[in-house]
Structure 1
């Protein structure tokens, strides 16, 4: 068994599972519906695919080496997280405390309700885009992958095939972990969608997204 690959798998698992903006946006959208949560989750995995592809191609080095380009991504990422966080907090402030009642959760009830929604496809596309942009506009990800992946390429081995394998491990884990989070949130939906709990969760995720966006913008100003 490849010891370095096993070590990287452990590092990647911790990196993917660590709660952050990706986790927050998946949980927030999964509170609305299973479809929204899963679509957001695959959007996050798509964003990771972009980062790993850039690292493999060496383009992440360009992003890191050109301060103006890096700062642009940081500005866009911070602003987008602030936007998502503000939307969540405004939604909490406007929603009456009893407006989101528990709904039955199960294969017999959840799917038809989602299919019948006239905006289902649009909502799915929007959630997919939210997940993708939340991850793709994270300016720290290119730096992380650029510094992490080469450390797990054994000396004497061709770099490209190995880096592609490592990138596939990261994306594969994200494609399993985030949909699992969305499905768990939906599975616990009867409890999580109680008005008080739902408001508290949405407020918490909104505050987290706002804080993360504010940190990115503050780092840009103070740099």
Structure 2
């Protein structure tokens, strides 16, 4: 058994499952419809694919070497997360038109999931710093790194659709107007905090 591969899989599973902007966006869209939630989940996995590809190609090293570029991308990501927070809080503050939400979120779920993940440059830096630790000494780096990157994407493709399906399973209770608006408020606040952290961090750095 490849102990390093097992260790990386466990580490990656924890990293993927850790609640954050990706998780929040998938849950929010799943409240509208199962299809919208799964679309968001696939979008998140696609965003992870971008980061792993960048790390494998070494482009992430450029972000680490050029702080101004990294901070610019971080600000763009923060702005997008704050935009999602604004939408969630606005939705929580007014009566919901569920039929209209289904049309709107179904169309944008994939895009939201992808952009929420892809616009976070920290993911590329994380992959760049972590992946080499699990490449055995003397082994070809490229095939091993591709395998590790594939594991991360595969775990995302498993985890986030499961989250979407579980939320949809509880949908009858979660979609009650009062409950749905409360969840919108909580997710909006969570996204707002995440967006502010991303916004303030490069300014204070």
TM range (shorter): over 0.9
Counterpart Cα distance in 1 of 2:92 and 2:186: 10
Q: State the match for 1:153 in structure 2.
A: 135
SS in 2 for 1:95: coil
User: What is the TM-score normalised by the length of structure 1?
Assistant: 0.88
- State which of 177, 180, 183 in structure 1 corresponds to 2:165: 183
Q: Flag structure 1 segments of 5+ consecutive residues without an equivalent.
A: 101-112
Counterpart Cα distance in 1 of 2:87 and 2:105: 15
TM-aligned CA deviation for residue 196 of structure 1: 2.1
Q: State the match for 2:203 in structure 1.
A: 221
TM-aligned CA deviation for residue 139 of structure 1: 2.0
Deviating 4+ runs (over 6 angstroms) = none
- State which of 194, 201, 211 in structure 1 corresponds to 2:176: 194
Q: State the match for 2:18 in structure 1.
A: 18
Counterpart Cα distance in 1 of 2:107 and 2:69: 28
Alignment RMSD: 1.6
Alignment of 1:1-223 (within 5 A): 1-95=1-95, 120=103, 123-223=105-205
TM-aligned CA deviation for residue 123 of structure 1: 4.3
TM-aligned CA deviation for residue 193 of structure 1: 0.9
Count of aligned residue pairs for this structure pair: 204
User: What is the TM-score normalised by the length of structure 2?
Assistant: 0.95
Counterpart Cα distance in 1 of 2:194 and 2:169: 27
Greater percentage in helix: 2
1:64·1:142 contact (CA, 8 Å) conserved in 2? Answer: no
Q: Flag structure 2 segments of 5+ consecutive residues without an equivalent.
A: none
Larger Rg: 1
Counterpart Cα distance in 2 of 1:152 and 1:221: 33
